[in-house]
Chain A
Amino acid sequence: MVIATEIPILDEQSITETLRTKNIEIDLFITAIKEKVGYDLSGYARASIKRRIEQLVIDENVTCIAELIPKLLYSKECQANYINRLTVNVSELFRHPNSFLSLRKSVLPYLESFPRRDIWIAGCATGEEAYSMAILLEEVGLLNNTQIHATDINTEVLKQAKTGILTKGLNKDDAARYQASGGTSSLSNYFSTAYNKHKLSQHLLDHISFSHHNILQDKVFCSAQLVMCRNVMIYFDLNTQNSALALFHNSLVQNGYLVIGEKESLINSPLINLLKTIDEPAKIYQRKSSANV
């Protein structure tokens, strides 16, 4: 059965032309951001950055991407606002519990052998990943002498993360993920509640430092026994992912661990030879000592 339709079907030439124009607009906008603000978004995955830019067009009530460019160039307020909206990532407590469970079993016993530990959470968004790590370390008795370095490119989310206050409160899904991560207490024990807000206990928060860091343009943030960067590299193109992975690898001490997102992969990275797989479904890898490379 064929349905009559009123949807205008454009001829091939005008479709090609429209797509071409939009691509030029995106490139110009990205160039403007780079030249004016210094952030290079050219290595972002095209499909998702395009979607975010198109969302910005709708939110800003303009008719096309090109109209965002003068606003960006002439308004400081717009610059900060656009950057933050284009780079914001979401997070949640104990995301992908399987990875936390595996960390608890396979990685933390190894970290115990160090007198002091540094853990880098790259792309920490609103802090939940760092909070989860602090809770996990507390439960296995490793929080003392551990410093968690949580970094993000986005200044807005960092402000939020530093407060220790959960953006979405605590619900039963969080509790379930905590349990699935091998949690031995009750998640709410680690938060104080006031005015309907949940704030991470101060003695846990004291072990986390939040700093601004751009994975694509800045150097290694710290030397670490464990680097965790999950659901951040999905926003990068393949080349950029590989540079990010190289950065993480450089920051790891020999035999240090790397954790990436559950749907992220090392398959297309040259780094695959420099890392040993500890737990593939949990996406936990270990830097080989130079003797083994």
Chain B
Amino acid sequence: MSDFRVFIGGSAGSIAPIKTILSSLPTDFNLIITLIIHSSGDNNTSMIEAIASCCTLTVIEISDKEIVKPNTIYLAPGGYHLYVENINSYSLSVDKKEHYCRPAIDLLFTSAAETFGKHCIAILLSGANEDGTEGLLNVKRHGGLTIVQSPELSQVSIMPKIAIERGAATKVLSPKEISHLLLEYND
């Protein structure tokens, strides 16, 4: 298992880029990926199926204090905030919404930044919200890598644009380029 961890946050219009990014990853991809997509979701089943159908890695919806395993993609459950509890596990909360969202990307990215520091790779995709920017800034402050989907290639460009305007992006890339970059980390 790599020391590097990948956190991908998205909102409206993020399923398509997520599929593009994940579909080129091999079965032995050894960076743990955590996906967080805005959803109130009492039922994430169809989203899990959509994501699982496009990639060879196992996709799991996170339970509280879930302990991470290699070669797995973890998805934040709808209706809960998600935090990195420590290097091996997550925790959930139902505290108030942030940016009208639960899960909020900012909270996950910030806890990831503080736990993984320079080993944190945070990716922000399409969406119509300002959530995610503060989290990316924290990842950056802690020496991590921040990537934002190119606004021109985003179905909804508000979220990527805000992040770029506020200086939260180390790199601005297309979904294909994001995927290539992740493969470079897979040693």
Chain A residues with Cβ below 8 Å from B81 are 48
Q: Given A3-B172, A7-B167 in contact, is the A261-B141 Cβ separation under 8 Å?
A: no
Is B64 on the interface with A (CB-CB < 8 A)? Answer: yes
Number of interface residues of A (CB under 8 A): 34
Quick check: A47 and B111 within 8 Å, CB to CB?
A: yes
Select the residue from A1, A3, A46, A238 with max chain B CB neighbours within 10 A: A3
When chains A and B are docked, how far (Å) is the Cα of A6 from the Cα of B141?
11
When chains A and B are docked, how far (Å) is the Cα of A15 from the Cα of B107?
18
Is A263 on the interface with B (CB-CB < 8 A)? Answer: yes
Cβ of B120 to closest chain A Cβ, rounded Å: 12
Chain B binding site: helix, strand, loop or mixed by DSSP? mixed
Quick check: A19 and B95 within 8 Å, CB to CB?
A: no
Q: Which of A19, A48, A90, A265 contacts B83 (CB 8 A)?
A: A48
Q: Given A47-B83, A263-B80 in contact, is the A52-B95 Cβ separation under 8 Å?
A: yes
Cβ of A19 to closest chain B Cβ, rounded Å: 6
Chain A residues with Cβ below 8 Å from B19 are none
Number of interface residues of B (CB under 8 A): 40
Chain B residues with Cβ below 8 Å from A52 are 95
Chain A residues with Cβ below 8 Å from B143 are 9-10, 12, 15
Cβ of A155 to closest chain B Cβ, rounded Å: 19
Is B63 on the interface with A (CB-CB < 8 A)? Answer: yes
Chain A residues with Cβ below 8 Å from B83 are 45, 47-48, 51
Q: Given A9-B141, A15-B117 in contact, is the A263-B167 Cβ separation under 8 Å?
A: no
Is A231 on the interface with B (CB-CB < 8 A)? Answer: yes
Q: Given A2-B171, A3-B167, A12-B118 in contact, is the A48-B63 Cβ separation under 8 Å?
A: no
When chains A and B are docked, how far (Å) is the Cα of A104 from the Cα of B16?
40
- Contact mask A68-90 → B, CB, 8 Å, 1/0? 00000000000000000000011
Task: Tell me the chain A residues, 220-247 only, with Cβ under 8 Å from chain B.
Answer: 231, 233-235, 237-238, 241
Is A264 on the interface with B (CB-CB < 8 A)? Answer: yes
Task: Tell me the chain A residues, 194-244 only, with Cβ under 8 Å from chain B.
Answer: 231, 233-235, 237-238, 241
Which chain A residue has the least Cβ–Cβ distance from B93?
Answer: A48
Is B65 on the interface with A (CB-CB < 8 A)? Answer: yes
Quick check: A264 and B172 within 8 Å, CB to CB?
A: no
Quick check: A234 and B140 within 8 Å, CB to CB?
A: no
A-side residues, CB < 8 A to B, are 1-3, 5-10, 12, 15, 19, 45-48, 51-52, 89-90, 96, 231, 233-235, 237-238, 241, 261, 263-265, 267-268
Additional 16 contacts, C-beta under 8 A, given A5-B170, A48-B81:
A2-B170, A3-B171, A9-B141, A12-B117, A12-B118, A45-B93, A46-B91, A47-B83, A47-B85, A48-B95, A51-B93, A89-B94, A90-B94, A263-B63, A268-B65, A268-B67
